C-alpha cells in the first residue's frame, strides 16, 4: 500500500542535497505576518479554511521574526514605520524572502503623500510585488507559489549565509546578520 510498498521494493532514492533542501524549504515557508493595514485582512483570509494557506505548508504564521522565512508586508508603510519593518526583517534568520503585498507596499499606492514610503523596495529587498488594492487571498497564494518556485530553483551555495573559506570548504557565515 502506498509509500511503504515502494520502500519494500527499492528502499532508497537518489537525489542531490540541493534538491532535498529546496524541497524541504519550499514546503514549509513560515510567514512573518507584517500586517500594517487593510491588506492584513486579506492575508488573514488566506489562512482561513476556504483559501487554506496550509495546503502550501505556510499556515504557521509566527509572530516572532526569529522563526520566519518569509515576510509578507501587508499594508501602507509610512516613513515612521519603515525603521520598524527593517528591524524586524533584520531579525529574521537567513535565508529569507519578502512579498510586497498590495499597491501601497509596492509603490505607495493611492497614498501619494509626504508621509508614505513610495515603495518598500527603497529599504527592503523585495522578491514578489503583488498587485491589488487589496489583493484577493488567491492572489496571495499565487505569490506564495511563485516564492516556492524561486526557492526551488535556488541552490544552497547561493544563499547569503554560506561562504567558502580559504581551504575551499563551505561553512556557515555567522556574521551575515550584521552585514545586512
Partner 1 sequence: MDLKTLIPQKLKEEFPSTEFEVSEYRDELTIKFEKKIIVDVCSFLKSDVDLEFVWCSDITAIDWATRKNRFTVVYNIFSMKHNFRLRLKCDVDESDCSIDTVSSVWQAANWQERETYDMYGIKFKNHPDLRRMYMPEEFEYHPLRKDFPLMGIPGSLPLPKK
- Tell me which residues touch partner 1 (CB under 8 A): 79-80, 82-83, 86-87, 112-115, 117, 122-125
The torsion region of residue 108 among left (phi > 0), alpha (psi -120 to 50) and beta comes to left
For the bound state, the minimum distance from the C-beta of residue 113 to partner 1, rounded and expressed in Å, comes to: 7
| Measured CA angle at 54 (ends 51, 55), to 5 deg | 75
Nearer to partner 1, 62 or 86 (CB): 86
Q: Which residue has the cell 534568520?
A: 93
Give min distance, CB of 173 to partner 1, in A: 19
Question: In this complex, which beta carbon is closest to partner 1, that of residue 82 or of residue 177?
Answer: 82
CB closer to partner 1 out of 93 and 125 = 125
Tally Cβ neighbours within 10 Å of residue 38. 15
Q: How far is the CB of 109 from partner 1 (least distance, A)?
A: 14
Whichever of 77 and 141 has its CB closer to partner 1, that residue is 77
Closer residue to partner 1 (CB): 109 or 137:
109
Residues with Cβ within 8 Å of residue 171, at least 6 apart in sequence = 162, 163, 164, 165
Q: How far is the CB of 175 from partner 1 (least distance, A)?
A: 17
DSSP single-letter state for residue 66? G
Q: 102's torsion region: left (phi>0), alpha (psi -120 to 50) or beta?
A: left
Tell me which residue has cell 500594517: 36
Asked if 42 contacts 70 with a C-beta cutoff of 8 angstroms, the reply is: no
Amino acid at each position: 500500500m502506498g509509500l511503504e510498498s515502494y520502500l519494500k521494493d527499492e528502499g532508497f532514492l537518489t537525489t542531490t542535497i540541493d534538491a532535498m533542501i529546496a524541497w524541504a524549504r519550499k514546503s514549509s515557508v513560515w510567514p512573518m505576518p507584517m500586517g500594517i493595514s487593510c491588506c492584513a485582512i486579506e492575508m488573514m483570509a488566506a489562512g482561513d479554511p476556504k483559501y487554506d494557506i496550509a495546503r502550501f505548508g505556510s499556515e504557521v504564521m509566527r509572530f516572532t521574526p526569529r522563526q520566519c522565512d518569509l515576510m509578507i508586508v501587508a499594508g501602507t508603510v509610512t516613513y515612521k514605520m519603515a525603521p520598524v519593518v527593517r528591524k524586524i526583517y533584520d531579525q529574521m534568520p537567513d535565508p529569507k524572502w519578502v512579498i510586497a503585498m498590495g499597491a501601497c507596499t509596492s509603490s505607495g499606492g493611492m497614498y501619494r503623500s509626504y508621509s508614505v514610503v513610495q515603495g518598500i523596495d527603497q529599504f527592503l529587498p523585495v522578491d514578489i510585488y503583488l498587485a491589488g488594492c487589496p489583493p484577493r487571498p488567491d492572489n496571495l497564494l499565487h505569490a506564495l507559489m511563485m516564492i516556492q518556485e524561486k526557492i526551488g530553483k535556488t541552490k544552497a551555495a547561493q544563499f547569503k549565509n554560506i561562504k567558502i573559506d580559504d581551504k575551499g570548504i563551505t561553512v556557515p557565515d555567522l556574521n551575515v546578520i550584521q552585514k545586512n
